Amino acid sequence: FSHAYKALEALAHDITQNNSLLLSDKAGMRKYFGNLHPTILATIDKLAAHRGDEGSHGSKAPDEYEIRYLLFSICNIALLFLEYTDNCGRK
């Protein structure tokens, strides 16, 4: 999960051309991906929260069903990011 999350964040960096953007930065995400539905932005925020504390340090891995959901969410969000490249200031 941690590697997939980092890859999603790297994709956001490439699309926005802002290497300091964090997926956990609600204002930044609204700025660059404001055309995404609020529920998608909330999902991104929940992924960021899931990565925090225990998740980012690898001390407690999600179970097989939870990790499947998390990885599907990351893949779907990546596809949505790619659809919104023109709206992020990148032409």
Calculate the average pLDDT of the chain. 84
- Contact between 32 and 16 under an 8 Å Cβ cutoff? The reply is yes
pLDDT at residue 32 tops 60: yes
pLDDT at 81: 93
pLDDT at 64: 84
pLDDT higher at 13 or 35: 13
Q: Tens digits of per-residue pLDDT, 45-84?
A: 989 888 765 445 555 667 888 889 999 999 999 999 998 7
Report the C-alpha gap between 33 and 28 in whole angstroms. Answer: 8
Would you say the pTM of this structure is higher than 0.85? Answer: no
CA distances from 83 to 2, 7, 12, 46, 75 (A): 23, 17, 12, 21, 13
